[in-house]
Structure 1
Amino acid sequence: MATGREGLARRRAAMGFTQESLAEHLGIDRSTVGRWERGTLTPQPWNQPDLARALKVSLDTLDALLAPGAHVAPPGPDRISHALVAPQRLDLITVGHLRERVQRLDERYDRVPSTSLLADAGLALGQISFFGQHAPNGRTRLELRQVEAEAATLMGQLVWDASQRRDHDNARAHFENAIAAAREIGNTAAEGHALLRKSYISLYGERDPRAGLTLTEQTAHTTSNTSNVITGLALLHTAEAHAMLGDQRACEKALAEAETRFGKTNADDVAGFLFSPSQFDRMAGSCYLFLGDHRRAQKALEKTARGIRRQNKSRAIVLGNLSLAHLRQGELDAATAALHEAIDVVEETRGGGGLNIVFDAGKELRRWRTEHLVSEVYDRLLSLMTAA
């Protein structure tokens, strides 16, 4: 008698699919999905990569969902609690639940204060590290190390952002742990993501563009054959490092290489979730701001701001830089308008990058400090400072 696959059905529902919508997404008959879930049919090998992507699980986790008896798995939190009591019994489905927890936190990172995520992220990373001490060798351990790399990278982001980009040491330690976990399993995309995040500490925290440049170039080299998205992002930050050093030719060369990489990106890129169409203009605008071409920076940043409508940390940085571009052209009205918008976002998200940039803009407003427009901005900056 065929055994039902309740775990597969539960995962499909958790991703927001009905049997009909999943079938339509995969280009198959609805009855096929029903037979997969009843256990009377197993997905063909050529269907499984698409199914795994739709369910946002690895192929190993999909194997576990398709295995006989997968229907008896308890819900995620209960299963994790059970595994904590008997860690030697950790399995791929439990690791999948851990990954899902980390991914849900990561999805919220750009929209909410990092302090609100720290406790949950720390708990998840602690549980993952605990399991790592007991997990048996094999596919389960490999998958766990992958989740550890993702969780440690997220934790590094949260620690650094929550500290307003001041706690370099602890953030760097998390990124280095992520790099070590990714290298152990040969996952160059995860390694590159952590390396790229580590480069931000040098570029934007320590204001050391040469050290940052070394890391961005290392990232691009690491992921050159794995992910066009991460390689393109590394090249964008390579361009910014060159701009910080005043090298316009090298900056524009890196920008062009990044644009080429993004042009090669497809739906199969393992880091596709990191890509946004606004990233190129956002970084180009920042580059030209460093190079002193404020009009060109303004145009790129205005285009980016129009494309980012959600109140998130990236939007705060764009608007803060746009304010600086206007200020450096003596355009006070436009500068304060952009700065007010940036402050609106920072008040909601508390992003460290946005905070730093709006305070930088506040310093450059001093020459107009007697203007009423500037007084209003200073009142809001004072409130931000007090809250911080």
Structure 2
Amino acid sequence: MTTTDRASGALLLRQLREGRGWSWADLARALRDTARQLAVASLMNRQVASIQRTVARWESIADRTSPGDRYQFLLAQVYARTPAGDLAIGPGSDFDTLLEALRHFGTPPQRVRQLVELIGHGGRGDSGDLLMLLAPGTRSTIAAIQRDPSKLDHEVVSRLHEAVMAINGLVGTTPFVRLQLQLAPIVQSCRRLLELDQVGPRQELILLATTAYSLAGRLAFETRDDEAAMALYADATKAAGNLADRSHRAAVQTSHTMVTLHATDDLKVARTIARAATVDAHRGSSYAIRARAHAVHAEICARAGQADEAAAALDRAWKTVEQLTVDDPHGGFNADRLNGFDGLCALHAGDAGHAHDSLDKSVSALRLSRDAVQRGIVSTDLALARLRLGDPAACVNLLHEAVDITAATGGRVAAQRIRLARRDLRPWRTEDFLAELDDHIHDTLIGR
């Protein structure tokens, strides 16, 4: 986007706010209140002062910040109604002006159309608006059980579980914020239903809640809302504790371990969760979860410099992978994924050759769209292995690929790894290939 485009967008946002006689704090309160009405968990409890600073950055000519998906959604809800509360989205309305501002900020036409459709079909200013982001079948299912919880039965829970799995399947191809909004009404429904003493198939509902909360925690992490992520993982762990098969709780804990590691860099806390995951995994039925738990534990040990413990955990993971079955309900973790952990542990142990071979195998196998986020991470690790083997140019070539993948997926961990890899390339700062990488990072990840 050009400076002139962004300046025009910033000016229009300021005019919209001032046209309603609002200060930055007034708009911040309106956005937070709307987030609470719509159960947008990542913003509903945020301090007004924090949102106010974000609003100010949007209106600053010198700042590059523009409204992301969550804020676009909330701004659309706020400006779709007049100060008197009437819906007004036609030409010349505040909503129409908002869309023009978003276009100046570079918002894609399909996103603008989605906002128009969402407000046009919804516009009630309650949590029902979020249902418009869901497939029609899921939308009607949730609307029905919200009206009458007694309608919850095996078939309904199965449909909701399929909807959660469908949202999970979009990771890597759809912005994380949009997935958050799609998942929000399902999470909200689970909370309400679990509060009831007698409601349908209880164990199936608990499993649905465990899966939905865990995915919501991961999405909150990816959108840099770590407080919400930790709370959702705590909810998922608590819910999973009511399930007989401990594989479910171990699955939550392995994800929680990695999110804790990358959100806080607290190895001690991450290791505590990882150990709990291995204990639960061995009490559960899934060999896939058991293998992943050992792999995650190995990575934590390797990062802590505990090479022997990491090697022992990896050995257990490889032996467990050999026992995988095609009907494992927690399938998805396999030798290809384990090679990524193996390679990263080798990197931390100083064995660049072994790291390169394992990571190369993993990257070669991660070709599906649902593997994109993981491919971005492993590609960066492979780039570091190339660097440790004395080939900075090859390292940079791989990082170019990782930058493109990360820009497309929005993966937070891959972005962290790219920054660390760039730091290790400082001795080659005078080389043209590094200047080209810096330009690519800036244009694709920072300046977009």
Normalized against structure 2, the TM-score is what?
Answer: 0.66
Judge conservation of contact 1:148–1:181 (CA < 8 Å) in 2: yes
1:92 to 151, 154, 162: 154
1:288 to 325, 346, 368: 346
The 1-side partners of 2:375 and 2:424 are apart by 20
CA apart distance, 1:323: 1.1
The 2-side partners of 1:268 and 1:217 are apart by 26
1:127 to 162, 183, 189: 189
Correspondence 1:198 to 2:256: yes
CA apart distance, 1:127: 1.9
Task: Indicate the residue corresponding to 1:251 in structure 2.
Answer: 310
Counterparts of 1:102-181 in structure 2, within 5 Å, are: 102-134=164-196, 136-137=198-199, 140-163=201-224, 167-181=225-239
Judge conservation of contact 1:182–1:190 (CA < 8 Å) in 2: yes
Q: Deviations along 1:212-238, whole A, 9 cap, x unmatched? A: 222212111102132111111010111
CA apart distance, 1:243: 1.0
Q: Deviations along 1:233-258, whole A, 9 cap, x unmatched? A: 01011111121122222111111100
Q: Deviations along 1:260-305, whole A, 9 cap, x unmatched? A: 1111121332312x32331111101110111222222112111211
Counterparts of 1:71-86 in structure 2, within 5 Å, are: 75-86=137-148
The 2-side partners of 1:224 and 1:185 are apart by 15
CA apart distance, 1:157: 0.5
Q: Deviations along 1:338-388, whole A, 9 cap, x unmatched? A: 101111211110101111111111222222111111111001111244257
Judge conservation of contact 1:90–1:135 (CA < 8 Å) in 2: no
CA apart distance, 1:178: 0.6
Judge conservation of contact 1:189–1:270 (CA < 8 Å) in 2: no
Counterparts of 1:370-385 in structure 2, within 5 Å, are: 370-385=430-445
Task: Indicate the residue corresponding to 2:321 in structure 1.
Answer: 262
1:366 to 416, 420, 426: 426
The 2-side partners of 1:104 and 1:368 are apart by 44
The 2-side partners of 1:230 and 1:266 are apart by 12
Aligned residue pair count: 310
CA RMSD, 1 decimal: 1.9
CA apart distance, 1:309: 2.1
The 2-side partners of 1:196 and 1:349 are apart by 22
CA apart distance, 1:112: 3.4
CA apart distance, 1:135: 6.4
Task: Indicate the residue corresponding to 1:63 in structure 2.
Answer: none
Q: Which runs of 5+ in 1 are unaligned?
A: 1-73
Q: Give SS of 2:327's match.
A: coil
1:333 to 386, 393, 410: 393
One-letter amino acid of the counterpart of residue 289, structure 1: L
Q: Deviations along 1:17-52, whole A, 9 cap, x unmatched? A: xxxxxxxxxxxxxxxxxxxxxxxxxxxxxxxxxxxx
Q: 1:79/1:214 Cα in 2 relative to 1: closer, same or farther (>3 Å)?
A: closer
CA apart distance, 1:76: 4.4
Identity of aligned residues (%): 25
Task: Indicate the residue corresponding to 2:48 in structure 1.
Answer: none
The 2-side partners of 1:155 and 1:297 are apart by 32
Judge conservation of contact 2:221–2:263 (CA < 8 Å) in 1: no
Judge conservation of contact 1:232–1:258 (CA < 8 Å) in 2: yes
The 2-side partners of 1:287 and 1:293 are apart by 9
Task: Indicate the residue corresponding to 1:212 in structure 2.
Answer: 270
The 1-side partners of 2:138 and 2:407 are apart by 34
Correspondence 1:222 to 2:283: no
Q: 1:251/1:157 Cα in 2 relative to 1: closer, same or farther (>3 Å)?
A: same
Q: Deviations along 1:312-351, whole A, 9 cap, x unmatched? A: 0000001111111222333111101110111121111010
Q: 1:117/1:135 Cα in 2 relative to 1: closer, same or farther (>3 Å)?
A: farther
Task: Indicate the residue corresponding to 1:32 in structure 2.
Answer: none
Judge conservation of contact 1:112–1:350 (CA < 8 Å) in 2: no
Counterparts of 1:7-22 in structure 2, within 5 Å, are: none
One-letter amino acid of the counterpart of residue 413, structure 2: G
Task: Indicate the residue corresponding to 1:233 in structure 2.
Answer: 292
Judge conservation of contact 2:321–2:335 (CA < 8 Å) in 1: no
The 2-side partners of 1:172 and 1:187 are apart by 23
Counterparts of 1:306-325 in structure 2, within 5 Å, are: 306-310=364-368, 312-325=372-385
CA apart distance, 1:185: 3.2
Judge conservation of contact 1:113–1:162 (CA < 8 Å) in 2: no
